[in-house]
Amino acid sequence: MGGKTGTYVIFLCLMTQVICQETNAAVALSASSDEIIKETGICRKCKCEDTKIDCNEQGLTTFFSSSDWASLAPLKPTHVDLSDNSFVNVTAMAELPVQMLNLSRCNIEFIAYSSFRDLQQMVVLDLSHNKLTYEKLSPHAFEGRYAAEEYEPLRAMRTLNLAYNDLHSLNQDLFEHMPELTELDLSGNPLGTVDHVTLIAISSLPMLKVLRMRSCNMKEIPDRLLHTPRYLERLDISDNQLTAIPQELDETKNLVYLNLNQNPIEELDVNSEEFPGFPRLKKLMELHMCNMPKLTRVGISSLAGLENLERLHMSYNEKLSYIDPKALARPDDIGEMFVYPQLTHLYLQSNNLSSIDSRLLARWDNLQDIAVSDNPWLCDCTNQWMVSNLVTYIEVIHPNATAEMSCQEPIEMRGYNMKHLHEVHRDMRCLDKYGHRPEKDGAILLGTLIGVLLAVPIMLALVLMWRQGYFAWIGLRGPSPMSRAFYKRAPADDNYI
């Protein structure tokens, strides 16, 4: 019995050794094969490391063939970067587990039909900064696999970047093969007025969460553009030609981020048809309105529809001089009180604001970040609360930041900063309703009195000198010479009648 057991143990050891040798051989063969692949084909021109193929700025003028791509299969690449090259056409790629494909800045003008058909795991496709046009960018470029019994789109696709091409319009079926697309970037394309087919294309993306249309020369947001993408959360329409807050934003029920920077909007007024305030965006948490060259004022309740706003970026607006104390306030359901959003981040630096009203926020001490420097502050009693209270809140978050909050007016306060005024417990005076400076009235009165006291004796002396004829040499004769000039002696003749 013992002999059989020993024989069995020996057999197991021999089998284990054989398996280990075969495994090591397979690993060695695989490693050897990978090394061979890395020294040939695409990897000879690009950098192949782990699961990444880096062909950035390699001077490529021709897109790799399908067989070239197929040779990379053993490497199982997930990230392929072909950016900053110069191939005009994109052709079909082989079946690979690529998740991210970067084809930006390549002067691409044409994408062959079904070029990405076999990239069934592709999540991100970057085609930005190329030369794609409406005529040459066909929906067929994004076709997935097709068989008689089934149709397979690019179901894994989530992000498509078409920014900075030459797209004046979009084919209405452009995205039909990407039903799960959640992020689309059209920035920098000369769309101008969004036409009907472009409207259909964008509104055909029901799962869209992020839409970027920056620098598209748009003057308005057309009706229904934002109606279908009900899950839209982030919208960037900055650097366009919008002159008023688009009321079409009311269709975005789930919007949490909105960028309106660099639009020529002049003001926000809830009572104005030309410059209305925001529609009700109940879920919006972050708003950007910076670098707006014409924005001058933000009126009462113009931001009241943003009831859950947490981050307000309203900086670098060189003409913005007024924000109403109740710009963010909305009446409650009863109409007896005002309700404010719970802002945690407030950025108002580099505007033309002379004051901030303490009623702008309900709780300044809730702020987690704030920046209000580089404004021409009026240092009088209307801003006393800033010196007494706001400085304290800011210094807790950003020590010494209030040293950059400088006084611009009145003239005698110019050069002081609010940190210093806070430290010396300065109580700032009030201007009267005409903007006069009463602290200078005493000096002006004293100067006037001294002037009068000096002027009276000088004038008397000048009159006496004039009467005595001291100024005759310059043609100003006194009353005595003038009397003699008009006096005529009577004739001596007694008969003179």
List, in sequence order, every residue forming a beta bridge with 313; answer none if it has no partner: 288, 347
Count of structural domains within the chain: 2
Q: pLDDT tens digits for the chain (497 residues)?
A: 555 555 554 555 555 565 555 555 443 434 455 555 556 689 999 999 989 999 999 999 999 999 999 999 999 999 999 999 999 999 999 999 999 999 999 999 999 999 999 999 999 999 999 999 999 999 999 998 876 666 678 989 999 999 999 999 999 999 999 989 999 999 999 999 999 999 999 999 999 999 999 999 999 998 888 887 889 999 999 999 999 999 999 999 999 999 999 999 999 998 888 999 999 999 999 999 999 999 999 999 999 999 999 999 999 999 999 999 999 998 877 767 889 999 999 999 999 999 999 999 999 999 999 999 999 999 998 899 999 999 999 999 999 999 999 999 999 889 898 999 998 888 888 866 555 555 555 556 666 777 777 777 888 777 777 677 666 666 666 665 555 554 455 555 554 43
Q: What is the pLDDT of residue 27?
A: 39
Q: Print burial letters for 327-365: b (CB count within 10 Å at least 16), e (below 16).
A: bbbbeeeeeeebebbebbbbbbbbbebbbbbbebbeebe
**Beta pairing class for 47-49 and 52-54:** antiparallel
Q: What does the DSSP 8-state code read for residue 397?
A: H
Residue type, 103: L
**pTM exceeding the 0.75 threshold for the entire prediction:** yes
Tell me phi and psi for residue 345, to 5 degrees.
Answer: -135, 125
Q: How far apart are CA 377 and CA 394, in angstroms?
A: 16
Residue 50 lies in a domain: yes
pLDDT at position 15 is: 58
Q: What letter would DSSP give residue 169?
A: S
Domain end (from 197, 218, 241): 241
Final residue of a structural domain among 208, 241, 274: 241
Q: Write out the residue range of the structural domain in which residue 41 sits.
A: 33-241
List helix spans (H) across 293-333.
none
Does a structural domain hold residue 455? yes
Question: What's the pLDDT at 280?
Answer: 93
Among 227, 225, 259, residue whose Cα is nearest residue 242 = 259
Is 136 within a domain? yes
CA 445, 451, 453: angle at the middle one, nearest 5?
Answer: 105
CB distance 359 to 385 below 8 Å: no
Per-residue tokens: 172: 């209405």
Q: How far apart are CA 268 and CA 306, in angstroms?
A: 14
Residue 288 is assigned to a structural domain of this protein? no
Name the domain boundary from 241, 265, 297.
241
Nearest-CA neighbor of 343 among 314, 318, 313, 311?
311
Would residue 195 count as lying in a domain?
A: yes
Give the CATH number for residue 168: 3.80.10.10
